Amino acid sequence: MGVFPLAAPPPPPPAHVAIIMDGNGRWALGRGLRRIAGHKRGAEAVRTAIESALRLGISYLTLFGFSSENWKRPEAEVRDLMGLLRYYLSNEIAYLNERGVRLQVIGDRARLHPDIGALIEKGERATAAGRRLTLVIALSYGGRSEIASAARRLAERVAAGEIRPHEIDETMIAGHLETCGIPDPDLLIRTSGEKRISNFLLWQCAYAELVFIDTLWPDFTRQDFEQAVREYHGRERRYGAASG
């Protein structure tokens, strides 16, 4: 009787996946709809990403929800986006809790309306016990601004005599970023065919694998997510070291 070799176990999933959710406006305009229709459909695609991350056993999922540059968009669009954000924060917390998902928000909250800030804090408290997945939403966020803020805090500590300039290293800088305590992304996905990272997690994505897909965000599927992870698994991660 023949002996069949055991199938190799699947590779471990990336611990942290970050996504630039791009293409909502083009999705809507291509259908003769207002841009807000694309944003609403895009909010539904967030659930697809969360379910996919849970299915794959990913521990951290970071989504670029609203950039610091997005404040320059037309006032009506920003108002619609803020209304959609209020709805999401008010109505999706129960969904996150049911699935053991912890919510964490990074970005400049001072620019958000106080009621949105209160909803964020309420959602973070309500989901604090989630252990299956940490969902990080970047709102009013910019990578350069985050690094500049960390530099200012370190400069203040030097001026106060708490630390000396020569003590500042990469670990200390990372500890003053908003993502302190969160592992750097292993994989960064951007939808819609654009091939840039748009000021997103500039420090944290130093060694992330970048995967760009043509799918517009509202059409993002579990298959898109899984294909990006398969591409990630097919790459050799050397972290600057020479190949063998």
209 is in an annotated binding site: yes
Residues catalogued as catalytic? 22, 70
Q: How far is CA 143 from CA 9, 79, 85, 175, 177, in A?
A: 37, 23, 21, 15, 10
Name the phi and psi angles at 94, rounded to 5.
-60, -40
23 is in an annotated binding site: yes
27 is in an annotated binding site: yes
Which residues neighbour 28 within 8 Å (Cβ) at sequence distance 6 or greater?
34, 35, 36, 37, 38, 39, 41
Q: Cα separation of 179 and 138, whole Å?
A: 10
203 is in an annotated binding site: no
164 is in an annotated binding site: no
Tokens 């999933």 map to which residue? Answer: 13
197 is in an annotated binding site: yes
- DSSP state, residue 111: G
73 is in an annotated binding site: yes
Residues of the binding site: 22-27, 35, 39, 67-69, 71, 73, 190, 196-198, 209
Residues of the binding site for Mg(2+): 22, 209
